[in-house]
Amino acid sequence: MFKKILIANRGEIALRVICACKELGISTVAVYSEADHDSLHVQFADERVCIGPPPSSESYLNVSSIISAAEITDADAIHPGYGFLSENAHFAEVCETSRVTFIGPRPEVIRLMGDKDQARKKMAALGLAVIPGSGVLGSEAEAAAEARRIGFPLMIKASAGGGGRGMRVVHSREELSQSLSTARAEAEAAFGSPDVYLERVVRSPRHIEFQVMGDSHGKVVHLGERECTIQRRHQKIVEESPSTQVDDSMRQSVGRRVVEALEEIGYTSAGTVEFLMDEDRQLYFLEMNTRIQVEHPVTEMVTGLDLVKEQILVAAGHPLPPEWDRVRLQGHAIECRICAEDPERFVPSAGIVTGLHIPGGPGVRVDRAVYSESVVPPYYDSLIAKLICHGRDRAEAIQRTKRALEMFIVEGVRTLIPLHEKIMRDPNFEAGNFDTQFLKQLMLPDEMAVMSAQGIAG
């Protein structure tokens, strides 16, 4: 077992990893930027190292500073959390060279699955259905020819990234050239690569993902699916498990194909295989995230398992427990991402938290790093907490989420709590009748006008 783990991240996920390490008896090292000096993950870690100024490019994305921090503290492993360097194959290679264990898949697997075009081709070859699309585009003429073959509307997507960046919906040939140029520029800025490809737009889609875990002994298991359909700007804000659209038969058949595919490529650690579901309930492979997900707690709530602890154990060479083959989903869980944003415009809201009340009670979990008088800096992702509620069924989970949201108070910065309350009260959400356009349909006309003006809606 590792003696000391450095957490190359910040916020609630850094604190979540520290909790897992404490239960395993492992010492922890927090790295932090100057803006995060007073953060909870810094306070609760056994050791702490400042790695640079506030901009993430000079701190949390600074590979040499993080490796130096691991060396001076004698850490024998690094947990990257999610975001930042968690899916950076180069960082994983540097960890190997520095003889520090990277808690995640092997660099070559990260690189394969991180290239969306290559991942689609590999998963198709291994038996998973993929959305019709193109390879990485060269010239504009090639893009036009591929667009004619695929048909409009279509999606331009960054080959090296995700999270909605480098992504554009194109409805006609006239829009293609400008959209292609914009998507390439965004992809270059966000991921260091301008490569993009085309994909047919799935009408009225739902976003379904399967949680997986693999060990270094050749075993991969799946832990059921999560519904992540409710999104803004192609970024999830509500997740739940199980999905109302996936029955036991589909769960087992798709899960089996996912496991077989990942065993073939030698996948290790936690990961998520993402799909789009069309109106006929056909699942198409979308991409794979080779890391722990923001929404992993909903799977933990319905399985009773600790995914972060298991990540650490398999990275240390432990086999997956035999009982993980027989995991069954119990009840229903819903996660609301509490982001420090204006709930009407989705504009980040930085500042000092002047008042805070965290809800509790049966079936309620809150993962957070925010506290009263803490600073929400303007430099990073706006997520400040995650509310996860579990019930015996979906109806009870929704009721507990409503109750918890009413009792969740954050003062000093604006948050998405009012929006989540609106979602939970919506009859279509309660009935499970929604797709990825749900949030646009929920927003009031004046809110939609503001979003359109900002280029958010479209």
* Residue-wise pLDDT tens digits, 154-177: 999 998 876 677 889 999 999 999
**Do 412 and 289 belong to one domain?**
yes
Read off the CATH number of the domain in which 18 is found: 3.40.50.20
**Do 70 and 149 belong to one domain?**
no
Q: How far apart are CA 133 and CA 196, in angstroms?
A: 11
Looking at 155-164, 182-191, 318-327, 346-355, which range is the least confident one? 155-164
CB 206 within 8 A of CB 253: no
pLDDT of 163 reads 66
pLDDT of 63 reads 98
Residue with tokens 């918890």, as numbered in its chain: 404
Would you state the structure tokens that stand for residue 271, as one six-digit string? 């990961």
Is 108 within a domain? no
**Do 345 and 231 belong to one domain?**
yes
**Do 416 and 374 belong to one domain?**
yes
pLDDT of 458 above 50: no
Residue with tokens 């949030």, as numbered in its chain: 439
Is the dihedral angle over the CA atoms 41, 43, 45, 48 positive or is it negative? positive
Residue 365 is a catalytic residue: no
Select from 168, 200, 232 the last residue of a domain.
200
**Do 236 and 186 belong to one domain?**
no
Q: How far apart are CA 279 and CA 414, in angstroms?
A: 36
Any idea how long the chain is? Answer: 458
pLDDT of 248 above 90: yes
Would you state the structure tokens that stand for residue 144, as one six-digit string? 């036009």
Read off the CATH number of the domain in which 448 is found: 3.30.470.20
- Could you tell me if residue 192 is left (phi over 0), alpha (psi between -120 and 50 degrees) or otherwise beta? left
**Do 52 and 86 belong to one domain?**
yes
**Do 285 and 398 belong to one domain?**
yes
pLDDT of 348 above 50: yes
pLDDT of 73 above 90: yes
**Do 65 and 142 belong to one domain?**
no
Range of the domain at 425: 206-453
DSSP state of 319: P
Q: How far apart are CA 304 and CA 294, in angstroms?
A: 17
Is 121 within a domain? no
Select from 61, 87, 103 the last residue of a domain.
103
Average pLDDT on 43-51 reads: 98
pLDDT of 456 reads 43
Q: How far apart are CA 335 and CA 371, in angstroms?
A: 20
pLDDT of 451 above 60: no
Is 115 within a domain? no
Phi, psi dihedral angles at 453 (to 5 degrees): -65, -30
pLDDT of 334 above 50: yes
Please, what is the Cα angle at 392 between 389 and 393, to 5 degrees? 85
Q: For the segment 118-137, what is each residue's pLDDT rounded down to a tens digit?
A: 898 999 999 999 988 898 99
Residues 6+ apart with CB under 8 A from 449: none
**Catalytic entry in 16, 106, 184, 291:** 291
- Could you tell me if residue 304 is left (phi over 0), alpha (psi between -120 and 50 degrees) or otherwise beta? left
**Do 163 and 306 belong to one domain?**
no
Report in angstroms the alpha-carbon separations of 383 from 218, 230, 360: 35, 16, 20
Instruction: Return the percentage of the chain with pLDDT > 90, whole number.
Output: 84
pLDDT of 444 reads 55
**Do 196 and 218 belong to one domain?**
no
How, if at all, do strands 4-7 and 383-391 pair?
unpaired
pLDDT of 164 reads 72
Residue 446 pLDDT grade (very low, low, confident, very high; cuts 50, 70, 90) = very low
Select from 103, 120, 146 the last residue of a domain.
103
**How many domains does one find in the chain?**
3
Instruction: Return the percentage of the chain with pLDDT > 70, whole number.
Output: 96
Q: For the segment 384-440, what is each residue's pLDDT rounded down to a tens digit?
A: 999 999 999 999 999 999 999 999 999 999 999 999 999 999 999 999 999 999 998
Q: For the segment 180-212, what is each residue's pLDDT rounded down to a tens digit?
A: 999 999 988 888 889 999 999 888 899 999 999
Is 266 within a domain? yes
**Do 37 and 146 belong to one domain?**
no
pLDDT of 455 reads 43
Average pLDDT of the chain to the nearest whole number:
93
Phi, psi dihedral angles at 414 (to 5 degrees): -85, 150
**Do 414 and 446 belong to one domain?**
yes
